[in-house]
A and B are shown apart, each in its own frame.
Chain A
Amino acid sequence: MSDIADRVKKIVVEHLGVEEDKVTETASFIDDLGADSLDTVELVMAFEEEFGIEIPDDAAETIQTFGDAVGFITKAS
C-alpha cells in the first residue's frame, strides 16, 4: 500500500473510530464506516491539512469511498 493510502487510512481510522480492516478500497464513508455529513466535511479538512492541498467543494462531493480519497489525493499532490 502506498504512503498516501497509509496516511489516509490513519486519518479515517482515528476520526471515525473504525477498525483498520474495515477501511477497504470500496468502503463508503457514510454507508460502510458510519460517517455523517459533518464527518465527511471533517475528513476532507483533515486530508487538506495532512497533504497541504485544497479540495474544492465539487471535488469533495465525489469523494465517497476510501479509494476515492486516495485516488484524488494521489492526483492532487
Chain B
Amino acid sequence: MFDLTGKTALVTGASGGIGADIARALHKAGAVVGLSGTRVQPLEALAAELGERAHVLECNLSVPEEVEGLVKRAVEAMGSVEILVNNAGITRDGLAMRMSDEDWASVLDVNLTASFRLCRAAIRGMMKARQGRIINISSVVGTTGNPGQANYCASKAGMVGMSKALAAEVASRGITVNAVAPGFIETAMTDKLNEAQKGGILSAVPAGRMGRPQEIAAAVVYLASDEAGYVTGATLHVNGGMAMI
C-alpha cells in the first residue's frame, strides 16, 4: 500500500521479534534496510532471507562510541539514512526499592540515550536532504506505567517527550518524528511471562489477544511513508484497546 522504493532505512534491534518484522515490512515496501543489532547471527539470517537491499550493521548500543559510528556506517553502506527506526530496547525489571543504579542506568542508556544519539546523527543528513522519517518505538507502559519497570517506563515515556521536541525542531525541514507505542506483543520479551500473567494481561485487552509484530511493523511503514508527511510528534498506540489514549 505504501511505497518506499529507493528509500534507505536503519532499524535498530533488528535481531529481535518486532525489529525483524519492521525490517521485513520496510524491505517489502521497497526500502533498502540497514539491520542493526548486537547478535550477528540472527542479523545475517535475516539479511539472507531478505536477499538484496539488506545490510548487516553490528552495533552494541550500550557502547557510546559504537552508537556514534552507527549512522556513519549505515550511510557508507546505503548512501544515506532517510528513515531511522529506534526499536532496540532492553529490560532490567525489579521493584523500585530493589532496583540498582546500574539497572536503572543501563535501561536509560540503551533505550533513551542511544536513541537520542542516533536521532542527532541521522538528522544531520536529513536536514541537508530536506526530508526524513524518524520512528521511535516506545511502549504502552511509557504512558500507563507498570510495576517492576520504573526504568523501562521512564525510558519509554522519555522517548515520547524526545520525539515531540525533535518533531518541533525539524518539522520545517520536511522531517517527521513520531513514536509507535506497542501494547502486549508476541515476542521473546513477553514469552517470559507465565500463563497466569498472560491471562491477567489479556483480560485487560478488549481485542482479547496479544498483538503480532507485523501489526507494529505496519504502523512503522505508514509513518515512514510520504503519505504520513503531515503526521509529526504523534504517538500511534497499537495495543488492541488496552489503553485508549
Which residues of A are interface residues toward B (Cβ below 8 A)?
A: 36, 38, 42, 45
Contact = CB atoms under 8 A, between A and B. Distances in A.
A38 B173 contact: yes
Contacts of B172: 36, 38
Contacts of A36: 172
Contacts of B169: 38
Interface string B108-124: 00000000000000001
B127 interface: yes
A3 to B, nearest CB: 24
A38 B124 contact: no
6 contacts: A36-B172, A38-B127, A38-B169, A38-B173, A42-B127, A45-B124
A63 B124 CA distance: 20
Interface of B is mostly: helix
Contacts of B128: 42
Interface in B178-212: none
Interface of B: 124, 127-128, 169-170, 172-173
B90 to A, nearest CB: 32
B157 to A, nearest CB: 26
Contacts of A38: 127, 169-170, 172-173
A45 B173 CA distance: 16
A45 B169 CA distance: 16
Contacts of B127: 38, 42
Contacts of A42: 127-128
Contacts of B170: 38
A74 B169 CA distance: 31
Nearest to B128: A42
A19 to B, nearest CB: 21
A57 to B, nearest CB: 14
A38 B124 CA distance: 11
The 9 closest A-B pairs by CB, nearest first: A42-B127, A38-B172, A38-B173, A38-B169, A36-B172, A45-B124, A38-B170, A38-B127, A42-B128
A45 B128 CA distance: 11
Contacts of B124: 45
A45 B124 CA distance: 9
> Looking at A36, A38, A45, which has the most chain B CB atoms within 10 Å of its CB?
A38
A45 B127 CA distance: 11
A45 B120 CA distance: 13
Given A38-B127, A38-B172, A38-B173, 6 more contacts: A36-B172, A38-B169, A38-B170, A42-B127, A42-B128, A45-B124
A46 to B, nearest CB: 9
B145 to A, nearest CB: 35
Nearest to B173: A38
B40 to A, nearest CB: 33
